[in-house]
Amino acid sequence: MKERQIPEGATEHLYSEAKVTLYYFKTDKGYPALLAYKGRSKKPIICNAYSTTSMRNERAAIYVKQEKENEDYKRSLQKPHELAVGDILYASWGYEQTNINFYQVLKIPTEISAIVREVNTKSTMTSSMSGTKIPILNDFKDQAEQRRRTAGVGNLKGGRNFQNLYFWNGKPKEYTTYA
Protein backbone atom coordinates (compact mmCIF):
# COMPACT_ATOMS: atom_id res chain seq x y z
CA MET A 1 0.00 0.00 0.00
CA LYS A 2 1.21 3.49 -0.83
CA GLU A 3 2.71 5.43 2.07
CA ARG A 4 2.33 9.11 2.81
CA GLN A 5 5.01 11.19 1.12
CA ILE A 6 6.58 13.30 3.87
CA PRO A 7 9.36 15.73 2.89
CA GLU A 8 12.66 15.31 4.68
CA GLY A 9 12.97 17.63 7.68
CA ALA A 10 9.21 18.27 7.93
CA THR A 11 7.75 18.82 11.38
CA GLU A 12 4.55 16.94 12.15
CA HIS A 13 1.59 18.60 13.89
CA LEU A 14 -1.28 16.29 14.86
CA TYR A 15 -4.75 17.76 15.53
CA SER A 16 -6.79 14.82 16.78
CA GLU A 17 -9.98 16.86 17.41
CA ALA A 18 -9.98 17.78 13.69
CA LYS A 19 -8.63 14.39 12.54
CA VAL A 20 -5.86 16.06 10.51
CA THR A 21 -2.08 15.90 10.42
CA LEU A 22 -0.07 18.83 9.11
CA TYR A 23 3.56 18.87 8.04
CA TYR A 24 5.49 22.14 7.96
CA PHE A 25 8.63 22.23 5.81
CA LYS A 26 10.72 24.38 3.45
CA THR A 27 10.77 23.86 -0.32
CA ASP A 28 14.03 23.44 -2.24
CA LYS A 29 13.95 27.21 -2.86
CA GLY A 30 13.40 27.96 0.84
CA TYR A 31 9.69 28.84 0.77
CA PRO A 32 7.55 27.79 3.74
CA ALA A 33 5.26 24.93 2.72
CA LEU A 34 2.32 23.00 4.12
CA LEU A 35 1.28 19.40 3.62
CA ALA A 36 -2.08 18.34 5.17
CA TYR A 37 -3.63 14.88 5.47
CA LYS A 38 -7.14 14.05 6.68
CA GLY A 39 -7.64 10.91 8.78
CA ARG A 40 -5.73 7.91 7.41
CA SER A 41 -5.63 9.25 3.86
CA LYS A 42 -2.50 8.65 1.81
CA LYS A 43 -3.30 11.55 -0.53
CA PRO A 44 -2.71 15.08 0.82
CA ILE A 45 -5.59 17.55 1.05
CA ILE A 46 -3.20 20.52 0.92
CA CYS A 47 0.26 20.60 -0.65
CA ASN A 48 1.26 24.25 -1.13
CA ALA A 49 4.19 26.63 -0.78
CA TYR A 50 3.65 30.17 0.55
CA SER A 51 5.47 33.49 0.29
CA THR A 52 5.77 33.85 4.05
CA THR A 53 5.62 31.69 7.14
CA SER A 54 2.69 33.72 8.48
CA MET A 55 0.66 33.03 5.29
CA ARG A 56 1.34 29.29 5.69
CA ASN A 57 0.42 29.34 9.37
CA GLU A 58 -2.76 31.30 8.67
CA ARG A 59 -3.84 28.77 6.00
CA ALA A 60 -3.08 25.89 8.37
CA ALA A 61 -5.12 27.49 11.17
CA ILE A 62 -8.10 28.04 8.85
CA TYR A 63 -7.97 24.43 7.64
CA VAL A 64 -7.73 22.98 11.16
CA LYS A 65 -10.63 25.19 12.32
CA GLN A 66 -12.84 24.08 9.39
CA GLU A 67 -12.09 20.40 9.95
CA LYS A 68 -12.70 20.67 13.70
CA GLU A 69 -16.09 22.27 12.99
CA ASN A 70 -16.89 19.45 10.52
CA GLU A 71 -15.96 16.79 13.08
CA ASP A 72 -17.97 18.54 15.82
CA TYR A 73 -20.99 18.65 13.51
CA LYS A 74 -20.66 14.92 12.70
CA ARG A 75 -20.43 14.09 16.41
CA SER A 76 -23.56 16.18 17.11
CA LEU A 77 -25.54 14.01 14.66
CA GLN A 78 -24.54 10.74 16.30
CA LYS A 79 -27.30 9.77 18.70
CA PRO A 80 -27.15 6.64 20.87
CA HIS A 81 -28.84 3.76 19.02
CA GLU A 82 -30.47 1.98 22.02
CA LEU A 83 -29.84 -1.46 20.45
CA ALA A 84 -29.05 -4.60 22.42
CA VAL A 85 -27.22 -7.81 21.57
CA GLY A 86 -29.65 -10.14 19.79
CA ASP A 87 -31.81 -7.37 18.29
CA ILE A 88 -32.81 -7.85 14.66
CA LEU A 89 -32.49 -5.11 12.05
CA TYR A 90 -33.53 -5.17 8.41
CA ALA A 91 -32.65 -3.49 5.13
CA SER A 92 -35.17 -2.98 2.34
CA TRP A 93 -33.70 -2.20 -1.06
CA GLY A 94 -34.02 -2.77 -4.80
CA TYR A 95 -35.05 -1.40 -8.16
CA GLU A 96 -38.23 -2.84 -9.74
CA GLN A 97 -38.35 -5.27 -6.86
CA THR A 98 -38.08 -5.12 -3.08
CA ASN A 99 -35.32 -7.11 -1.41
CA ILE A 100 -35.21 -7.68 2.32
CA ASN A 101 -32.12 -8.61 4.35
CA PHE A 102 -32.06 -9.20 8.10
CA TYR A 103 -29.13 -8.61 10.46
CA GLN A 104 -28.60 -9.68 14.05
CA VAL A 105 -26.73 -7.47 16.54
CA LEU A 106 -23.73 -9.41 17.88
CA LYS A 107 -21.87 -6.80 19.93
CA ILE A 108 -22.28 -3.22 21.11
CA PRO A 109 -18.75 -1.74 21.18
CA THR A 110 -19.96 1.84 21.75
CA GLU A 111 -23.23 3.70 22.19
CA ILE A 112 -23.05 4.86 18.57
CA SER A 113 -21.96 1.64 16.85
CA ALA A 114 -22.89 -2.01 16.67
CA ILE A 115 -21.43 -5.18 15.18
CA VAL A 116 -24.01 -6.99 13.03
CA ARG A 117 -24.09 -10.06 10.84
CA GLU A 118 -26.60 -11.05 8.18
CA VAL A 119 -28.94 -13.95 9.04
CA ASN A 120 -30.80 -16.37 6.80
CA THR A 121 -34.53 -15.93 6.29
CA LYS A 122 -37.67 -17.98 5.97
CA SER A 123 -39.78 -16.92 2.97
CA THR A 124 -43.47 -17.43 2.32
CA MET A 125 -44.84 -16.72 -1.17
CA THR A 126 -48.13 -14.78 -1.13
CA SER A 127 -48.43 -14.50 -4.93
CA SER A 128 -46.38 -15.43 -7.98
CA MET A 129 -44.12 -12.38 -7.55
CA SER A 130 -44.30 -11.44 -3.87
CA GLY A 131 -44.11 -12.83 -0.40
CA THR A 132 -43.01 -12.23 3.15
CA LYS A 133 -39.77 -12.93 4.99
CA ILE A 134 -38.82 -13.39 8.61
CA PRO A 135 -35.31 -13.82 10.03
CA ILE A 136 -33.98 -17.08 11.43
CA LEU A 137 -32.20 -16.08 14.64
CA ASN A 138 -28.58 -17.23 15.07
CA ASP A 139 -28.56 -18.80 11.56
CA PHE A 140 -25.87 -16.63 10.00
CA LYS A 141 -24.98 -16.25 6.34
CA ASP A 142 -21.35 -16.68 5.36
CA GLN A 143 -20.60 -12.95 5.26
CA ALA A 144 -18.33 -11.52 7.91
CA GLU A 145 -19.40 -9.27 10.75
CA GLN A 146 -19.95 -5.61 9.89
CA ARG A 147 -19.40 -2.61 12.13
CA ARG A 148 -22.11 0.02 11.63
CA ARG A 149 -22.55 3.50 13.10
CA THR A 150 -25.78 4.99 14.33
CA ALA A 151 -28.21 6.73 12.00
CA GLY A 152 -30.69 7.57 14.75
CA VAL A 153 -32.42 5.70 17.54
CA GLY A 154 -32.72 2.04 16.50
CA ASN A 155 -31.12 2.58 13.08
CA LEU A 156 -27.64 2.01 11.70
CA LYS A 157 -25.99 3.62 8.65
CA GLY A 158 -25.21 1.68 5.51
CA GLY A 159 -22.04 -0.36 5.44
CA ARG A 160 -20.31 -2.02 2.51
CA ASN A 161 -23.50 -2.20 0.46
CA PHE A 162 -24.82 1.20 1.66
CA GLN A 163 -28.05 -0.25 3.06
CA ASN A 164 -29.33 1.54 6.15
CA LEU A 165 -30.56 -0.88 8.81
CA TYR A 166 -33.80 -0.33 10.69
CA PHE A 167 -35.14 -1.92 13.88
CA TRP A 168 -37.40 -4.86 13.03
CA ASN A 169 -40.84 -4.78 14.69
CA GLY A 170 -41.28 -8.60 14.67
CA LYS A 171 -43.78 -8.67 11.81
CA PRO A 172 -43.02 -10.39 8.46
CA LYS A 173 -41.54 -8.00 5.87
CA GLU A 174 -42.99 -8.00 2.36
CA TYR A 175 -40.72 -8.53 -0.64
CA THR A 176 -41.28 -8.69 -4.38
CA THR A 177 -39.51 -10.48 -7.20
CA TYR A 178 -39.11 -9.48 -10.80
CA ALA A 179 -40.25 -12.00 -13.43
Residue 35 CA to residue 63 CA, distance in Å, equals: 11
Within a domain: 5: no
pTM for the whole structure: 0.60
| pLDDT tens-place string over residues 24-55 | 999 999 999 999 999 999 999 999 999 999 99
Average pLDDT per 10 consecutive residues for the chain, totaling 179 residues:
86 95 96 95 95 97 96 81 89 88 90 87 90 94 75 61 81 88
SS3 category, 74: helix
| pLDDT tens-place string over residues 61-77 | 999 999 999 999 888 77
Within a domain: 1: no
The answer on 172 and 92 residing in a single domain is yes
Within a domain: 4: no
- Picking from 76, 66, 62, 88, the residue whose alpha carbon sits closest to that of residue 140 is 88
Q: Domain range for residue 41?
A: 11-77
Domain count for the chain, please give it.
2
At 56, give phi and psi (nearest 5°).
-65, -45
The answer on 73 and 135 residing in a single domain is no
